[in-house]
């Protein structure tokens, strides 16, 4: 199967389907694999968040998607529907402004989701743990707490767990959930700050992928970790020159408060590697502008030490349309770029012209427990996570497919 141009299907649907009223979309595809990817593309032009009024106000509508498969294969419509719902849910979370989706709101969404899943699958299969506010500080989550402590709502680490009895492998999915990123005291300009409600796209993708994994009964243990914080400006903001004491027991000298995503993810992967016994840790984030320079607006960048994991991610990407391309993996050449005279490392690079997107991933990798010997995959979705000021839901299908195939 070749790579289907999901972006062209999405654009065609957006261009030719009216904004209001019921509609029917017919997708002519050669096989069920292409139907899967095309169906996921067709759902994206129908975002759920809209606060327009008057004649432009959203109305209730039905959009029917029909597949004509040339070779006669049956399409798993239920799987596509569950994933499409997940993609649109992630879009809605990303498009919701921080005034309506603060850290506590996101935590409540997670609690509600797990409560609903427990009703269907039981508390022995689905569970949730939340560590928030001062508890993060007391338990030495210096990254998450440091980034989020200046906001009016407390930072949080949410761990949603799915443990079906037949599962033999365990995945830890770690999402960056910066519900708004001002840049902190290294403050962004106006143009650069607009759209920073999307900086929780990694957590939105992990959240929705987790629900799809449970509802489609993927037989893997899956822990979804949401690293939630608002990078706000206030009297309690963390500062450049501060030292953060991370969950990994490593110290970080802050030299850029706008390089905050890697700090919350570092605590997330440290917790996962120390307590969840995963076969693989996957962290996903709208992490660096450098990703767009490396792999563009259509492909996420991936980083891993394992050629097997890299290939697995590329195959999952091709089958879902959430495309990826590898970054340079070279910690021995790049880690010096975080050297600090007073801490184990700084949080931002000393040379922005030296594989900056790879460096951000390696920073996170350094906080994985030294006793952890299994696999790790970093996914940077800064470019494909947004399109025309809207969240895309990128990564939901990718994480789901990786979990299914792993």
Q: How many angstroms separate the Cα of 16 from the Cα of each of 4, 11, 314, 361, 393?
A: 19, 9, 31, 40, 21
Provide CB contacts within 8 A for 275, sequence distance 6+.
none
- Secondary structure element (H or E) that encloses residue 26, with its range: strand 23-29
What's the token pair of residue 162? 């799915």
Whether residue 248 contacts residue 367, with contact meaning beta carbons closer than 8 Å, is answered with yes
Length of the chain: 406
Hey, which residues are catalytic here? 188, 262
Classify each residue of 129-147 as buried b or exposed e, where b means 16 or more C-beta atoms within 10 Å of its C-beta. ebbbbeebbeeebbbbbbb
Q: What number of CA atoms fall less than 13 Å from residue 184's CA on the CB side?
A: 24
Q: How far apart are CA 60 and CA 69, in angstroms?
A: 29
Provide CB contacts within 8 A for 40, sequence distance 6+.
6, 80, 83, 84, 87, 320, 321, 397
CA 164 vs. chain centroid, Å, equals 23
Q: How far apart are CA 131 and CA 156, in angstroms?
A: 6
Number of CB atoms found within 10 A of residue 3's CB: 11
Whether residue 301 contacts residue 294, with contact meaning beta carbons closer than 8 Å, is answered with yes
């Amino acid at each position: 199967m070749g790579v289907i141009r999901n972006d062209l299907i999405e654009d065609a649907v957006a261009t030719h389907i009216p904004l209001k009223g019921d509609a029917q979309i017919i997708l002519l595809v050669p096989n069920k694999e292409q139907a899967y990817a095309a169906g996921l593309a067709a759902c994206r032009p129908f975002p759920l968040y809209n606060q327009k009024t008057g004649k432009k106000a959203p109305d209730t509508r039905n959009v029917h998607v029909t597949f004509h498969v040339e070779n006669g294969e049956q399409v798993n419509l239920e799987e596509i529907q569950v994933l499409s719902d997940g993609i649109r849910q992630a879009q809605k979370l990303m498009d919701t402004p921080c005034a309506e989706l603060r850290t506590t709101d996101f935590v409540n969404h997670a609690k509600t989701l797990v409560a609903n899943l427990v009703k269907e699958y039981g508390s022995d299969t689905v569970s949730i743990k939340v560590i928030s506010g001062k508890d993060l500080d007391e338990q030495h989550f210096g990254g998450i707490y440091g980034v989020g402590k200046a906001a009016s709502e407390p930072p949080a680490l949410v761990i949603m767990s799915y443990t079906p009895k037949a599962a033999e492998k365990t995945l830890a999915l770690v999402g960056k959930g910066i519900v708004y990123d001002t840049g902190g005291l290294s403050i962004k300009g106006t143009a650069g700050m607009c759209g920073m409600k999307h900086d929780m796209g990694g957590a939105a993708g992990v959240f929705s992928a987790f629900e799809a994994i449970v509802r489609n009964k993927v037989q893997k243990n899956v822990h979804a970790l949401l690293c939630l914080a608002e990078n706000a400006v206030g009297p309690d903001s963390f500062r450049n020159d501060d030292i953060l004491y991370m969950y990994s027991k490593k110290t970080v000298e802050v030299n850029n408060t706008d390089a905050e995503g890697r700090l919350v993810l570092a605590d997330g992967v440290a917790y996962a590697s120390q307590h969840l016994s995963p076969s693989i840790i996957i962290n996903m984030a709208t992490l660096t502008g450098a990703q767009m320079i490396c792999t563009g607006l259509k492909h996420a960048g991936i980083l891993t030490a394992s050629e097997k994991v890299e290939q697995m991610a590329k195959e999952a990407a091709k089958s879902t349309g959430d495309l990826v391309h590898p970054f340079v993996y070279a910690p021995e050449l790049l880690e010096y770029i975080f050297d600090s005279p007073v801490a184990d490392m700084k949080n931002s690079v000393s040379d922005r012209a030296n594989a900056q997107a790879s460096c951000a991933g390696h920073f996170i990798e350094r906080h994985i427990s030294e006793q952890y010997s299994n696999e790790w995959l970093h996914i940077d979705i800064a470019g494909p996570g947004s399109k025309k000021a809207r969240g895309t839901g990128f990564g939901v299908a990718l994480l789901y497919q990786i979990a299914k195939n792993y």
